[in-house]
Structure 1
Amino acid sequence: MLIRHATIDDLKAISELESLAFPPGTACEEESFRRRLTHYPSHFWLVFDTLESDLTLVSFSDGLVTDACDLTDEMYDRADMHNEAGAWQMIFGLVTHPQYRQRGYATAALTAAISQAKKEARQGLVLTCKEALIHYYAKFGFINEGRSVSTHGDTVWYQMRLTF
């Protein structure tokens, strides 16, 4: 397993993996990823399977940094809202290729994000998830704050917060 930050050269692989993991309307579009990679490539955590000869991207997480306390829908498409000196690391998604799930890749991506946020002296991380995943994020110390203001993809989301 190899974990690293993204570059613009990873755009196609990131977009393809996102489209495998999320349905249309919820999945981030390539142009949005392009903007994110332009503004905050060091807030992408890419996980590669080193057993594959071509270092296959199997999981990733990303999100901007902000002083805002809550994750809002506007943040998904407004990469310019990133504030490198911000207090909170937002996590927009934790994506794993369907064939590579249950192997620890998502854990590695999220752990890398948590570690970096601690190193950068953030107050913590904020993400939204579906109800079925609340218990997963709770294992990392995230606290369920209830239904999120986000309606991204016409879905009910729950806001989770990990405070350091």
Structure 2
Amino acid sequence: MLTFQPAKPNQLDAIMTIENQGFTPDEAATKPSMAERIDRISDTFIVASQDQQVLGYVVGPASDERYLSDNLYDHLTANNPADRYQTVLSLAVAKDARDQHIGSQLLAELAKVARAQNRTTITLTCLKKLVPFYERNGYVNEGVSDSAHAGETWYNMVKTL
């Protein structure tokens, strides 16, 4: 049975394995950055696991801006209860656990947490190939992002809660 809970420091190695399976070296978070996320925003860092094995995760800080800015990847503060937006910096599923709808379930869990924290919207950026996945999960493509992260073209995806 799949369970969802906040990320814990002892899961960092498993999380980094999944991060590096899901993103190129230029796109992926560093281990110190991911450890900082676990430390500062564990309330919005959700891990999916089965029998103690991490199968995927979703993470992002609260924000007062509709769209992600690249500085969110570099500097992180604790979630501010007044912020209206929930961001997604990373959503990744272990290679051997894909095609089981775990990514969609993680997005649903994050939406529950965001609603409980009185956020009105979830916002993220994704590559063009992932736009249909997010649209199936209720997100709207609001066009090309200003992000220059990893030298890629990113799309702003927004879901109203």
TM-score by length of structure 1 reads: 0.92
Q: What is the aligned length? A: 160
CA distances 1:14-65 after superposition (whole Å, capped 9, x unpaired): 1121112211111100000111122111111100133xxxx21111000000
CA distances 1:73-99 after superposition (whole Å, capped 9, x unpaired): 100121127423311000011101111
Question: Is the contact made by 2:11 and 2:54 (CA closer than 8 Å) also made in structure 1?
Answer: no
Partner of 1:90: 87
Partner of 2:17: 16
Structure 2: gaps of 5 or more residues: none
Deviation at 1:148, TM superposition (A): 0.6
1:37-52 map, 5 Å = 37-50=38-51
Where 1:26 maps in the other structure, the secondary structure is coil
Deviation at 1:130, TM superposition (A): 0.9
Partner of 1:32: 33
Percent of residue pairs bearing the same amino acid type: 26
TM-score by length of structure 2 reads: 0.93
Deviation at 1:68, TM superposition (A): 1.5
Structure 1: gaps of 5 or more residues: none
Structure 1 moving runs of 4+ over 4 Å: none
Once residues 36 and 141 of structure 1 are traced to their aligned partners in structure 2, the CA distance between those partners, rounded to angstroms, is 26
Partner of 1:108: 105
Q: Structure 1 counterpart of 2:80, which letter? A: N
Partner of 1:138: 135
User: CA RMSD for the aligned pairs?
Assistant: 1.3
